[in-house]
Amino acid sequence: MSNALRIMFLAALGTVTALAQGKNGQAQNNFDKPFPAHKVIGNVYFVGTAGLGSYLITTPQGHILVNSDFEHTVPQIRASVEKLGFKFTDIKIILGSHAHGDHMEGDALAKELSGARVMAMEQDVPALQKMTPGGKPHPVDRVLHDGDQVTLGNATMTAHLTAGHTKGCTTWSTKATDAGKTYDVVIVCSVGFNPGYVLVNNKDYPQIADDYVRSFATLRKLPCDVFLAAHGQFYNLEEKYAKLEKGGPNPFIDHAGYLAYIDLKEQQLRAEVERQKGGGKP
C-alpha cells in the first residue's frame, strides 16, 4: 500500500471510530469538537467541526451552506459563519451530502434560523422525510436530480449522484477563483461503507454494489483541483489546515489526494463485496 493510501486508510478508520463512539445518534467524540472556521479557496469556506465537513459558498447575493450536520451542531456552524464575518441570515440555500443525521439532521433548524431554501437529491427524500428531530418535519423546498445545477449570484453548484453510501448520496462540484486563477472544487459525499452495510443480496437496496461502482466512475471523471468532503478525515483536514496556517502553497489544492481517496475506497469496497460473496457477515 502506498503512503497516500495508507494515510487515507487511517483516516477512514478514524471516521468509523468516531461513529462507534456516538450515543443515541449523536457522535460525541471528534464530530462535535470545534474546529477553526477558515477560507479554503476563493469564496469557499470551512464552517464545520473537527469531524463534520460543512462549507459556506459566498456570493454578493447571499450564501450557500453545504451540510447542516446534526441539529445540535447548527449553533456551532452559525458561530463559525459569524466568525468569518458573514451573516447566517444571508444563507439563501441549504444543500446536503446525504440523508444521514450527521450531515442533514440540522436542515429544519438551519432553515428556521436563516430562512434559506433546502434542496436535496430525489433518491434521498424518503429517508429525509423520516428525519424529524424534535418532531419537526424535514423541509425539502426543491427536489434535485443528477446533473442539476443550483445557482446563486456568481456561484453554481452541480449535483452529482454518487449513490451507494445512501441512495441519493450527492457529490457537489463548483468553481472558485483565487488570485486570478479558477479552480475546480469537489465536495465528495462518501463512497465508503459503514459497519453493517449489506453489499451482497441486499433486499432493501439490491443495486447497492453496482451503484458504488458507478459512483467511483463518476468521481474519476470529475475535474478536481480542490478536494473536500462530508468528513474532514477524508481529505486530511487537520494536517492541511496546519499547513495553511504556516503559509505557502494552498494545501487544499490536492488532485493526487482526491485520486488516492477514490482508489482506497474502491479497493475496500471490492474486497468487502468479495468477502460477503464468500459468506462473510457485513
Q: Are the CB atoms for 55 and 228 separated by under 8 Å?
A: yes
Q: Are 56 and 90 in contact (CB under 8 A)?
A: no
With 90 as the cut, is the pLDDT of residue 17 above it?
no
Residue 6 is predicted with a pLDDT of: 41
pLDDT one-digit tens code per residue, 220-258: 999 999 999 999 999 999 999 999 999 999 999 999 999
Q: Once rounded to an integer, what is the mean pLDDT over residues 178-192? A: 97
- Residue 99 near residue 143 (C-beta atoms within 8 A): no
Closest by CA to 12, choosing from 278, 267, 275, 270, is: 267
| Whole-structure pTM value | 0.90
Question: 258: Cβ–Cβ under 8 A, 6 or more apart, which residues?
Answer: 186, 188, 224, 227, 235
Whether 209 shows a pLDDT value over 90: the answer reads yes
State the average pLDDT over residues 12-35. Answer: 52
- 34 CB contacts (<8 Å, ≥6 apart)? 49, 50, 76
| Domain range list for the chain | 3-277
Segment 202-219 shows an average pLDDT of 98
| C-alpha closest to that of 112 among 82, 128, 89, 81 | 89
Name the CATH code of domain 3-277 (choices 3.40.50.150, 3.40.50.11440, 2.60.40.1120, 3.60.15.10): 3.60.15.10
Least confident of 24-33, 137-146, 243-252: 24-33
- Position 11 pLDDT exceeds 60: no
pLDDT interval class at 30 (50, 70, 90)? confident
Per cent of the chain over pLDDT 90 is: 89
